Amino acid sequence: MRRRIGIDRRPVDVTTDHGARVLEAFVWADQAERLERVRRAIEIVRADPPRLMEGDYVEVLPALLAERDLDALTVVFHSASTIYLQEDERARLQESIDLEGARGSLAWVSFEYTTDDGIGYQGFALDVRSWPGEQRRLALLDGHANSMEWVA
């Protein structure tokens, strides 16, 4: 069974005209290319919308992962969100994903601000960790993914 679930404290449902306009409003007026990407993404989501859940993903994710099919690959993805978490929340997120990874097939993909010394780029990294498997840095990016340098 394939499914996609989005978790957000205030999810925006882009399948509605209001939701699409709200999301478009987050793009700066002079960023025509980004606005076009957002509009294309909205059309993709409208064709096959995910289930949206209102909540704190640090709190909600463990229960969702606990009910997953261990014979199928589960992918957890987040972007530009862990910077807003308290240290204990980041630790809880890490622990819950580590525990679930030990149970079965899981991939954790993150596009987050990094404080790694010597990153020398624009501060964001695309990382993937898989179970069974390894952790790898795939790319360094700017905050809006307008420019990217592959590292893996």
Instruction: Using the structure block, give the residue that is written with the tokens 């149970």.
Output: 103
Residue 110: predicted pLDDT: 94
DSSP assignment string, 106-127: EEEEEEEE---TT--SSSEEEE
Question: For residue 91, what pLDDT is reported?
Answer: 96
Per-residue pLDDT of the chain (152 residues; tens, 9 = 90+): 678 999 999 999 999 999 999 999 999 999 999 999 999 999 999 999 999 999 999 999 999 999 999 999 999 999 989 989 999 999 999 999 999 999 999 999 999 988 765 555 568 999 999 998 889 999 988 877 778 889 86
Q: What is the pLDDT of residue 117?
A: 57
Please report the pLDDT score of residue 132 as a whole number.
Answer: 83
Q: What is the pTM of this model?
A: 0.84
Nearest Cα residue to 17 out of 46, 40, 37 = 46
Q: Are 110 and 77 in contact (CB under 8 A)?
A: yes
Q: Residue 152 and residue 138: Cα distance in Å, rounded? A: 5
The pLDDT value given to residue 103: 93
